[in-house]
Structure formats: C-alpha cells, structure tokens
Chain A
Amino acid sequence: MALMLSLAITLITILFGGMLIWKHAWLPPAISTIAGPIDHQFTLTFIVCGLLFATAQVTVAYLVWSQRSKPQSERHHALHGSHTLEGTSILVATVLLVALSATSYQTWTRVHWTGPAPGALRIEVWGEQFAWYFRYPGPDDRFGPVHFNLMSDSTGNYLGLDRQRDPASRDDIVTATLGVPVDHPIELILRSKDVIHCFFVPELRLKQDLVPGMEIPIHFTATRTGRYEIVCGRLCGLGHYNMHATLAVMTEPQFKAWLLRMAAEQ
C-alpha cells in the first residue's frame, strides 16, 4: 500500500512537471518586444516553483516508502523536532521567492512603469459594457475633450465628442478595431465609460485594468503583422463573454491607408 502511494505521488509529480516543461504548447505566440522578458520571467517562475514542488513531492514519496515497515509509534520521529531541516526549508523557499519577486519587479517596471519610446503613436482605448472603441488624435496630434452627456452609441457618438464646437475633436478618428503599425512604439491610454474592464491581448503579453475616472497608460511594440483578439479580462457584466475586438498589426503603408479610410468614415 505504502509503495503504491509512493509511486502515485511520484507519477503525479512527473505528470505535472511534464505539463510545466511543455508550457510553450499552451502559450500563444509572442508578438511584442516586451513578450521576451515576460516569457523569461514566466519560465523562471515555473522552473523555481516546479523544482520546489518536485522536491517536496519526492520527499513525501521517499518518506512514505522508507517509513513503511516501522511501527506507527516510531514514524513521527523521522521529521518531528528537526529544527535544522525546517529552518533550512523555510530559508531556501524565502530566498527563492524574494529573488523571484526582485526579478519580476524589474520586468514589471520595464513594461508598466517606464514611458514609451520617443515617437510613440498615442491611441485611446475605451471600454464599455460590452464593446471596445479606439481613438486616434488625427493630424493635430491632440485628443478633443470628451463630453459624457453626449456619449451615445445609438447616435454614433461613442466617445461624446463635440466636433462642431471643439476644434481638437474634429480630426479625431474613432474606430472599433485597434490598428497599429508593426515595429512602431504604441502608447495606449486606457479609459472606461462605466465599470472596471481589462485590456488583454495574450499575444502581446499585455494585460491591464481600465478603471472609470482614470487614464492608465501602457505601451508596446508589435513585432509581427496579423490579427489578434482583444478580450476583456475582468468580469464586467452580463455580456462580458462577448466583449472583444480585433488588434490588427499592419505594415506602415497598410496602416496609413487604413487610418485614412477610417478618417473618411467619421
């Protein structure tokens, strides 16, 4: 019985360890410059946590097997009272977790707490129940003011712009697809109309909440053309499952042509 239990623990460890090693099979392709550091951190975390997990499991399996023939009254002496062993385990785990936190902090700040590269294209991202809208500043490179009393999806004024009275709004381009040029730095300014949403593009390795009343900047540079799904990563209401849009990464000429086409539709 003890031998079977020991074998079962070992097999479970190998199975889950294998899944960790095969992690690349379930991660989507990476298409941004920040994906490298994020994936590196991801791998490092998996290795460290995986080793801790495997060590603990193998230890349990060994103890089950090695103590199987001893009487019940003697088995607890195998571990009980070993301050050296307990202290060493806690110390090793603490050092590893602190080291992981330090490296992940560096990665996090590189993505979220530093500004975008000079010349980044600024785009506003608006979340609402249950759709995404994107605003480009137009040739004047300025976003016009938003009037919440004018917001109405049914009249096509998705972001409450007053194009007649606000000169900066006149050339603003509002779309429902996020088009970006490849290999060009992009700065997104995340805003919400109603509740907390979350901008999430797994291929970019980018995920950030949108909070009503706040303007939250994030940035990225896409490295591969294609169409990718933008989803809402925060349960935001009845239609949350259906709140998605498309990220279209295009070549520079394609992007310029697309933006001109969108501007003509305003």
Chain B
Amino acid sequence: MCFALAGLNWACGSKPGRANRSLPRVKPAAIDASMVSKVTGTIFFHGDPPHLPPILMDKDPACVKLYHGQRAHVVDGEVNSNGTLPNVFVYVEKGGEQYVFTPPTQPAVLDQQGCMFKPHVLGLMVGQVLEVKNSDPTTHNVHTLAKNNPQWNISQVPGAPPLEERFLHPEIMVPLACSQHPWMTCYLGVTSNPFYAVTGSEGTYALKGLPPGAYTIAAWTATFGTKRRQTTVGPKQTIKLNFTFGAYP
C-alpha cells in the first residue's frame, strides 16, 4: 500500500482559490498498512430498465462511418444483463479526513473514441493528471463544466497529442462535454482520497486500503440519483455493502 503522507492538503468541500487557507491544518496521521480493510458490494437495479434511444450522430459523417450502418446507443441509464448497474461512481464521502494522500503518478486516461467519451465515468484524485486522447478521425472539443474547479474548453483535432489537465479541488461530479458533438458527455469524480471505484459490466465495486473508522459510502449514478450508506470498518475486514436503485430516484 502506498498511501504515503505528503505535504499536500487536499480536502473535501474546499472552494476555488481558498483550498488551503480556509481549512484547519490537520496533522497527517499514518496509515498502518497491515490493518486496512476493504468494502465491496454490488449495485442492483430494480424495476424496468429505461429505454435507451439511439444517438443521432448524423451531423458528423465521420462519426456515423465509425458505426458501419449501426447506431450507438445512450449510455446513461444502462442496466447490465444481470440486473446491476454499470458506470456507478462509488466513493468515500465522509471519513478518514485525518489522513492526507498524494495523488497517483499515473494519469487517469480518458479517450474520445467512436465519438463518445470512454470510459463514461472516471475517477481521479485532486492533483492527478487527467490525460484526454482523441482516437477519432474528427475534431473534438473538450469542455469541463466544473463548479468548484476552473473550467477549460479545448479543441483537439485528429492526431493531436493528448491533453493534460489537473483538478485542484474535489468535485462530485464534473461533467465533460464536447462542443462539437452535443450528445457526448462523461463524468469525472474528483476526490481527495484514493477510495473510489466505478462499476463495470458486473455491477460490482471494491474500495481497498481503508483504515479502520466510520465512513459514509456514496454511490452516484447519472440517471438514478445518489445513495449513501454508513458503515464502520474495523481492522483487516472485508465488508459487503450493496446498493439498490429504482427507475426513479
């Protein structure tokens, strides 16, 4: 486990321009790697899955061509065949504030592929590099619609080098849009700790390396709202925490 302590003091709920000034300095506590626990679970969906309409990409023939006569479908509201939800951002909303974490040195990678953002939901830490690629044969325009962080709006032609940006403050969630293709949207979960995960085709998640303590775990979805559950984690435990969403939040 590499939850090294550092001088960085990223803290939840901070506002732009006063991230370090307005919050009390906390004395970083060390995490005993031999005592950490894990929270795992599955995100279930009950009810009729929503109808996912096709995405109308007609305005850009380069995008249409990528699908060989087929149409891409909407991702928000997607339900896995096993009745679970993909693209759920699960994270520690409260708890563990006494610890300070350094962001990973590896960038979080977002690609524009098939005139869609991939992945659709991505987690990263404050200060971590976000790398945005354009694998499409058409120009995209990456526009963050952040509220707690500065917005940026950058065009990216085919073959252009990846964009690299960082977020300075935690924010759940930062929508990303493409000004060229109005259907393109994805969501970034920017956290001050490394305890987050995004569900995939099995609808499961795992938050590893949690030091003992009381936590609020939140599960965010683009379509069905956000749910929260409290749990207390002891040393060297694996706790199962499932969430269930319905058709309407």
Contact = CB atoms under 8 A, between A and B. Distances in A.
B210 interface: no
Taking residues whose C-beta sits less than 8 angstroms from the other chain, chain B's interface range is 20 to 34
A67 interface: no
Contacts of A177: 58
Contact of B56 (A129, A130, A176, A244): A176
Contact of B53 (A133, A157, A242): A157
Contacts of A130: 59, 179-180, 182
B19 interface: no
A139 interface: no
Contacts of B52: 156
B179 A129 contact: yes
B54 interface: yes
B58 A176 contact: yes
Interface in B34-58: 52-58
B53 A131 contact: no
Interface string A122-138: 00000011111100000
Contacts of B183: 153-154, 156
Contacts of A265: 53-54, 71
B223 to A, nearest CB: 7
A261 to B, nearest CB: 11
**Interface residue SS majority, chain B:** loop
Nearest to B177: A154
Contacts, number: 63
A176 B74 contact: no
A153 B57 CA distance: 11
Contacts of A238: 141, 153, 179
A153 B73 CA distance: 12
A130 B54 CA distance: 18
Interface string B144-167: 000000000100000000000000
Given A238-B141, A239-B141, A265-B71, A156 B179 contact: no
B184 interface: yes
B56 A158 contact: yes
A246 interface: yes
Interface in A159-213: 174-177
A88 B143 CA distance: 61
B182 A129 contact: yes
Given A129-B179, A155-B76, A265-B71, A174 B184 contact: no
B117 to A, nearest CB: 10
Contact of A154 (B59, B180, B184): B184
B141 A156 contact: no
B180 A156 contact: no
B134 interface: no
B58 A153 contact: no
A7 interface: no
A157 B75 CA distance: 12
Given A155-B77, A156-B52, A238-B141, A128 B182 contact: yes
A175 B59 CA distance: 11
Nearest to B71: A265
A155 B224 CA distance: 12
B199 interface: no
A89 interface: no
A243 interface: yes
Interface of A: 128-133, 153-158, 174-177, 237-239, 242-246, 265-266
Interface of B: 52-60, 71, 73-77, 139, 141, 153, 179-180, 182-185, 223
12 contacts: A129-B182, A130-B59, A131-B182, A154-B185, A155-B53, A155-B77, A156-B52, A156-B54, A157-B53, A176-B58, A177-B58, A238-B179
